[in-house]
Amino acid sequence: MGEKNRQFLELLKKPGNDKCVDCSSKSVEYASYNMGVFLCPTCAGLHRGLGVHLSKVKHLKLDHWEDSQIRRLEEVGNINANRKYEERVPACYRRPGEGDSSVLRDQWIRAKYEREEFIYPEKQVYRRGFMEGYLMKRGKDGDQCKSRRFVLQESEDSLKYFIKERKEPKTVVRISTLNVYFAPEKIGIPTSLQFTFPHGSTTRHIYVYHESAETIVQWYMALRCAKLNRLMVAYPSASEYILAENVMHDFLKEGWLTKSGPKQSDGYRKRWFSLDRRRLMYHESKLEPVPKGEIFLGHRSEGFFLRLGSPSGFKEVGFSFTLTTPDRQYLLSSEKDEDRSQWMRWIDYVIDREITFEDSILWDKIRRRN
């Protein structure tokens, strides 16, 4: 082993340097020698995107290192760098981890080093409680997207959107009931968002995008910040960071399943399923504005459980499994064995979790609807 490799191994043992400085991944293979930080392969790629005037990246083993460059890593290191660049990350900001979408990860790195938003908090425009701008919104019945003006007003707990310059908003959403979700693969555009919220007696989804990654992430963070502030008013004794963990949530799993009707004679239908914590929604198509149906997933002790295969008398289609609720049985099936295992794992995870107060309100709503 060369002397330089030994030096790197020593440096990597130091606290903080064993994880990527930006996403905490354990696979540290690169470093930025002007910033003096250690990086995972994905974040190293995003640092390259910043340009060499900001970050100069090298592979720890495959590239040649000058002594002065190694000294810089010794002097700075991940903990010191983050003391500076992450000093003022607001609680509402979603710090992306290894599994997060590339838009979130790229914007985190740009916010951190290019715009220095966490050194200068006045640059955090998403914390102002107000945002206004145009987003492309997918139409209710088709692929066509139209530019719509959206207005976020935290003091009113509202997100509104307007058609043309009309005075009255087309829809008003209460931010405190809104969930916002990055679903780039589903929508087919990396810089897109899904808004999900209760609407009348059902649930609505709105799909939007903006060509600028910075803008779409600003909307996402602004909605998180506004919702968190509303939650802090509702739960004044709760910790801001604990509330922030629950402020918005990604769906646990989505995908196509076939679903049987309640009777043996009923046919099978292909549906797009979304597992949103205790709510299992199914839709006629991937980007439907309203789910066709919703199934509340209660606790195992209340009579909710899963079984591999179909109930006797039902035809086996693909890789099937049966979800039993106190009201009825749902025969579902995946095209692939691996996909079925994932669905079963996530549904089991949900029905093993304790029911919260919010869950029982949701259960009540869904029951009244069905």
Residues forming the site for Zn ion (CB under 5 A):
20, 22-23, 25, 40, 43
Nearer to Zn ion, 30 or 282 (CB): 30
Element (H, E) at 9: helix 3-13
Q: How far is the CB of 287 from Zn ion (least distance, A)?
A: 31
- Alpha carbon 141 to chain centroid distance? 25
Nearer to Zn ion, 110 or 127 (CB): 110
Element (H, E) at 294: strand 293-296
Q: How far is the CB of 87 from Zn ion (least distance, A)?
A: 19
Task: Give the type of residue at 337.
Answer: D
Q: How far is the CB of 43 from Zn ion (least distance, A)?
A: 3
Nearer to Zn ion, 57 or 247 (CB): 57
Q: How far is the CB of 44 from Zn ion (least distance, A)?
A: 8
Q: Quick count: other Cβ atoms within 10 Å of Cβ 324?
A: 14
Nearer to Zn ion, 22 or 359 (CB): 22
Q: How far is the CB of 4 from Zn ion (least distance, A)?
A: 23
Q: Pick from 39, 37, 34: which is nearest to 51 by CA?
A: 34
- DSSP letters, 128-187, are SSEEEEEEEEE-TTSS-EEEEEEEEEGGGTEEEEESTT-SS-SEEEEGGG-EEE--HHHH
In this structure, are residues 154 and 224 in contact, taking their beta carbons and an 8 Å threshold? no
Q: How far is the CB of 212 from Zn ion (least distance, A)?
A: 23
Nearer to Zn ion, 20 or 187 (CB): 20
Nearer to Zn ion, 99 or 313 (CB): 99
CA-derived radius of gyration, the chain? 24
- Alpha carbon 323 to chain centroid distance? 26
What is the SS3 assignment for 350? helix
What is the SS3 assignment for 270? strand
